Structure 1
């Protein structure tokens, strides 16, 4: 199985690569469209600021490639947010895979949310073998509201989407690579998913 982590200069890619190695697999780091298209699984990470990350995708043509992929694609943290229609961070247009706009937490809660929180209402093969109310690790100031694509949710002043799914596209607001045994199981579940038929 070929696993590609998209390396576009806006991700904590080494920790994801190490997490995959712990599961017994090797991942390739690449921003080459042909390598990404040929992969069995694609991981789209993201750390940092949305508008600059989106610009990096555009510079390498990946903004056009990612929405066309047919294999399972997992967006993590900012990666998931960039798969949405728009984010308030930097007033940034996203890849328009998930039909939802990302917004900033209000002033009633401390931002960014940093640390462990619980996931509820699990509704995806990503969460096979995961119990309701398991703890996952988050670092973010913006969130995707609940939508028809929500497959897990978390409460932090507001109940929001901690995971999204549409066809072969999956997104987690949390960092599975930093979420202990629960996160490793979610990554393992992703690596077992089937892609779309061409």
Structure 2
């Protein structure tokens, strides 16, 4: 981990022109994510498919500015979907089943089906992806980005849902007001933690 100052980190709201830039940030960041590397264990498969995974998993946050990234050096990014924007779950699952190794397909499908069971029935924001450059993880940048997104959420007095893909991520989110509402682990998959954050 590099030592950095967080005092003057410029945060930029995403636009459609930022899609490739943000995808590169997240593809780099998620090389360390247990769930992502379980889905795409071979480096060539990961690099071939993860950009598409981001597009399908995160929906389209770019058209309404539902995301932010650190504009100085592309150190990290956060994407979410507001309660007015929804992901195409059928297309997402079709992409997953067509891109993960055949031996993982059944378990991968069940993992995401289990995630779906924890989504609130009422309107909510869905924080889909938070990623920081592996060289800068545990430096506070993830929390900085998340606090920026949560300030917008709290201004809207919104309910929010996310999935933490590691216990470290879950601990970070708990410090920001999230609560674990379950655990998802299917076959050989790593444990993940659906989480809710109540309106503030």
Q: Does the TM-score normalized on the shorter chain lie above 0.5?
A: no
Higher strand share: 1
Q: TM-score, normalised by structure 1?
A: 0.31
Pick 1 or 2: higher relative contact order, CA cutoff 8 A, min separation 6: 2
Q: TM-score, normalised by structure 2?
A: 0.31
